């Protein structure tokens, strides 16, 4: 068994002292893709932000690559340890060129961009273009390509499919699997499209209203698909569902 790149124990996190996520236990090992599912407002993004040091940890602990998450003032250190976080709105800096965006993987210094272009050949022709002019799919490629250049040991991707056409994210999703297989990085994948995410994942967690409601291997969740649906459609059905 590989080493844990992320280990969350009993996490309470939120804003202004109010917990949005309660008593969460979650871990990710190197080389595995873990889907993090749940309806809108479940607390998935908040959890990711807490891992990145941008949301207050009220209780419990988060260990990333064997170290405790630093405070907001030191949050930039995480990226230097080898944690890469592609935020919900992709984190593209629109006023910089594609090439400069990629260079930010090395904090603006000279960077060999070929690994990113190997995964996303389309980026090769766009290097000099201002990032704000890219299409949504191109932006997502840029964001993930940049994450690859960071050579992460642990990668978090928040809602990769947001605002993209199905034909595009269906193409992007398998690449996440490839990254984990090629580099041995652990991946935590937040997704609304459960089927799509589960198809590429090893394990999954389901969060609802800030509480962990399900967890298991991807196969188990695919098998118990009706339970997963219940979390999206309403909490009661989940408990009332008789075991078969």
Partner 1 sequence: MRYFEFGILGFGTGAVIAAIALGLVVAYRASGVINFGHGAIAAYCAYSYNSLRTDGEIPIPPLPNPVAPIEGLFNVEIFNLPTFISVGDSVATIPALVIALLIAAVLGLIAHYAVFRLLRYAPVLAKVVASVGIMILLQGAIVIRYGSRAKQADRILPDDTVDWFGATLPIDRYLLLGLVILLTVGLWALFRYTAFGVATRAAAENERFATLLGVNADSQAVVSWVLASVLAGLVGVLASPIIGLTPNQLTLFIIPALGAALLGRMSSFVVAAAAGVGIGVIQSVLFLLEQNASWVPDLNIPQALPFIVIALAMILRGETLPSRGAITAGRLPEAYVPKLTRARVSAYSVLIAVSVLIVMFAPFRFRSGMNNTMVGVMLGLSLVVVTGYVGQISLMQMAVAGLGAYAVASFGTDAGLPFVVALVLAVLAATAIGAIVSLPALRTRGASLAVITLASGLAIQEFLFKHEGWFGSADTRNTDAPSLFGFEMGPNSSFPIGDGKIPSPGFGLLLIVITVLCAISVMRLRRSRLGQQMLAVRANERAAAAAGISVAGVKMSAFAISSALAGMAGAFTAFKLGQFTADSFGIFVSLSVLAFAYLGGISTVGGAVMAGTLFAEGIGIVVTEEWFNLNVQEYTAYVAGFFLILTAVYNNEGIDGFQRTQFYNLVRKIRGDRSPTPAATAEEVTA
Among 31, 39, 60, 87, binds partner 1 (CB under 8 A): 87
DSSP code per residue over 88-141: TTTT--TTSBHHHHHHGGGTTS----HHHHHH-GGGGGGTTSBGGGS-HHHHHH
Q: Which of 58, 93, 162, 222 binds partner 1 (CB under 8 A)?
A: 93
Give least dist CB 230 to partner 1, A: 34
Q: State which residue, 93 or 222, has the beta carbon closest to partner 1.
A: 93
Shortest separation between residue 83's beta carbon and partner 1, angstroms: 9
Q: How many CB atoms lie within 10 A of CB 27?
A: 17
Helices (H), the chain: 44-51, 77-81, 98-103, 114-119, 136-149, 166-183, 194-200, 218-223, 225-233, 235-240
Q: What is the closest distance, in whole angstroms, from the C-beta atom of residue 28 to partner 1 in the complex?
A: 18
Handedness of CA 62, 68, 74, 80 (dihedral sign): negative
244: contact with partner 1 by CB under 8 A: no
Cα separations in angstroms, 213 against 51, 223, 238: 20, 16, 9
Reported residue count of the chain is 244
- Note whether 114 binds partner 1 by CB under 8 A: no
Residue 81 CB, shortest distance to partner 1, in Å, is 9
Least separation in angstroms between residue 55's CB and partner 1 is: 11
Tell me if 91 contacts partner 1 by CB under 8 A.
yes
Residues in binding contact with partner 1, number by CB under 8 A: 28
C-alpha distance from residue 13 to each of 55, 61, 209, 214, 224 (Å): 7, 10, 13, 19, 29
Provide the mask over 151-190, with x wherever binding to partner 1 is found by CB under 8 A and - wherever it is not.
----------------------------------------
Q: Is 148 in the site for partner 1 (CB under 8 A)?
A: no
Instruction: List contacts with partner 1 (CB under 8 A).
Output: 52, 54, 73, 75-80, 85, 87, 91-96, 100, 103-110, 146, 150
């Amino acid at each position: 068994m590989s080493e844990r790149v992320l280990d969350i124990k009993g996490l309470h996190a939120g804003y202004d002292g109010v917990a949005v996520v309660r008593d969460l236990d979650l871990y990710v090992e190197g080389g595995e893709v873990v889907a993090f599912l749940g309806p809108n407002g479940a607390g998935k993004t908040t959890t990711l932000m807490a891992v990145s040091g941008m949301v207050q940890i009220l209780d419990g602990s988060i260990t990333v690559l064997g170290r405790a998450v630093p405070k907001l003032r030191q949050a930039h250190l995480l990226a230097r340890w080898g944690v890469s976080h592609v935020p919900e709105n992709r984190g593209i800096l629109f006023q910089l060129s594609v090439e400069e965006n990629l260079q930010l993987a090395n904090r603006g210094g000279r960077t060999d961009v070929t690994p990113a272009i190997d995964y996303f050949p389309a980026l090769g022709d766009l290097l000099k273009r201002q990032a704000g002019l890219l299409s949504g799919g191109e932006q997502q490629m840029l964001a993930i390509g940049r994450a690859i250049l960071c050579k992460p040991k642990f990668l978090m991707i928040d809602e990769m499919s947001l605002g993209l056409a199905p034909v595009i994210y269906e193409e992007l999703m398998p690449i996440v699997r490839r990254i984990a297989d090629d580099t041995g990085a652990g991946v935590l994948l937040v997704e609304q499209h459960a089927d799509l995410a589960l198809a590429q994942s090893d394990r999954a967690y389901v969060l609802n209203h800030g509480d962990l409601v399900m967890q298991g291997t991807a196969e188990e969740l695919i098998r118990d698909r009706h339970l997963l649906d219940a979390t999206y459609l309403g909490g009661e059905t989940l408990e009332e569902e008789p075991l078969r």
